[in-house]
Amino acid sequence: MEFFNFHTHQFTNQSNVLELVNQYPQEFDETITVYSVGIHPWHIKEDQIDAELKIVEDKLQNKNCLAVGECGLDKRIEVPLELQIPVFEKQLALAEKYKKPVVIHCVAAFQEVTEIKKKLKISVPMIIHGFAKNKQLAEQLLKDGFYLSFGKYLLKNPDLKTVFQNIPNGRFFLETDSMEENIQQVYELASEYKNINLKELQEIISSNYKEVFENWNH
């Protein structure tokens, strides 16, 4: 793979890009070759949680399912946090059971996500997708063992430049999420910010991919 897109909602099927496509339990597309699957906090419906968790567990047993998620906590939506938390915790338990990394959606709830990680003693890698916060929070999350993935906001918010430059090479991924721009554009800007050439960046991300998705649980 030349490019790894850590989190996307669009399957473009380019031969030189490995895309970790986000899938939802109820709208599962069998034609997508590599995916993550999870219950997003936005889409929690109380009467469907058990059925959706069964689908997630079923899919996690497939080798093409690389991760759980996106799942997590979001304080800016109407779904109450006391409903979001058990759904998140059950998915983390499945991630531990099947040894899969977790794609985290987190809005204004970093403290809670970190506390849950510690409380449940989660050993699988947890990656915060679409990171867009400040250097202090980035440092705290890295200290607490998280990886950070950058994409849309890296392209759109110049203030993230110094945050990204300070992320250790072994702890980040790049993604497109739901934006129009392609992963190659994210890589180009990231290599410029890190002051390295594209090939070096590809090697860093390839090494991180192996660490998170291949090596750690063997």
CATH of the domain at 190: 3.20.20.140
**pTM of the full structure:** 0.97
pLDDT at 218: 43
Flag whether 180 is in a domain.
yes
pLDDT of 51 reads 98
Q: What does the CA dihedral 32, 37, 42, 43 come to, rounded to 10 degrees?
A: 80
| Total Cβ atoms within 10 A of residue 18 | 19
Phi and psi for 168 in degrees, rounded to 5? -60, 145
Which of the residues in the chain have pLDDT under 70?
Answer: 216-218
For 103-138, what is each residue's pLDDT tens digit?
A: 999 999 999 999 999 999 999 999 999 999 999 999
Write out the residue range of the structural domain in which residue 144 sits.
3-197
**Does 172 reside within a domain?**
yes
Q: Does the residue 96 lie in any domain?
A: yes
Q: How many angstroms separate the Cα of 22 from the Cα of each of 5, 161, 198?
A: 11, 26, 26
Position 202 in a domain: no
Sheet with 65-74, strands from edge to edge, namely 3-8, 17-23, 35-37, 65-74, 102-107, 126-128, 147-150, 172-174
Contact between 45 and 77 under an 8 Å Cβ cutoff? The reply is no
Rounded to the nearest angstrom, the gap between the alpha carbon of residue 36 and the centroid of all alpha carbons in its chain is 9
Q: Has residue 51 been placed in a domain?
A: yes
In a domain, 212, yes or no: no
Give how many domains the chain has, as a whole number: 1
DSSP state at residue 10:
-
Q: 154: closest CA among 126, 193, 180, 128?
A: 193
Identify the H or E element spanning 107. strand 102-107
